[in-house]
Amino acid sequence: MEILKKPVMLYFLTFVALLWDGHLSEIADTFLPNNFFVVSHLLLIFVFYLAAYFQKATIAWYLAFLGFLYDAYYFKAMGIVVFILPLLYLFVLFVLSKLRQSLFVDFLVIFLMVSLFEVAAYGLGLLYKITSYNYLDVIVYQLAPTMVFNVLLFILIKKPIEKLFSYYFDDIIK
């Protein structure tokens, strides 16, 4: 029964990360000029660690469900993050199967995940006619500050999240 509680707790914490993303974005935006804005991707950091510690197909389905909630909560349109989150999870699984995990690899994977998420969300937003921003404006005013913020966030929370995931998954992996 204890083993069953541990993954459930991490699923719950991943859901909490989804909710915290909006709050972290709002807090970070208060420190930036009006035309710049930041999108926190704490959820993507959790997705990275889910892939690193727990490689199961059920995670992709859970992430599709979280993507549905993300779409409803942030975009008010269905299909953007439902599609992106499971693909990013599979991308991380592929990268981690080819490269040995290290600080540099983790940093690059997070950087790529945030970049791919933002570019895919912008592209699908254009396709669904949710956004009409020029891509150069998106790069300068959103993508660049978002990348800086999320890299700093990753550096700050890397050790605590690794301890959290190793605590919850060491018994399951062994």
* DSSP secondary structure string for all residues of the chain: -HHHHHHHHHHHHHHHHHHHHHHHHHHHHTTS-TT------HHHHHHHHHHHH---HHHHHHHHHHHHHHIIIIISSSSSHHHHHHHHHHHHHHHHHHS---HHHHHHHHHHHHHHHHHHHHHHHHHTTS----HHHHIIIIIHHHHHHHHHHHHHHHHHHHHHHHHHHHHHH-
Instruction: State residue 27's pLDDT score.
Output: 92
Please report the pLDDT score of residue 89 as a whole number: 93
Q: In a structure prediction context, what are the per-residue pLDDT tens digits for the chain, which is 174 residues long?
A: 454 456 678 788 889 999 999 899 999 988 888 889 899 999 999 999 888 887 777 888 999 999 999 888 887 777 888 999 999 999 999 998 999 888 899 999 999 999 999 999 888 888 878 877 888 888 888 899 999 999 999 999 999 998 888 877 665 443
pLDDT at 149: 94
Q: CA-to-CA distance for 105 and 80, rounded, in angstroms?
A: 27
CA distance 168 to 14: 13
Q: Using CA atoms, how far apart are residues 90 and 55, in angstroms rounded to an integer?
A: 9
First to last CA, the chain: 16
pLDDT (0 to 100) of residue 125 = 82
Residue 4's pLDDT is 47
pLDDT of residue 29: 87
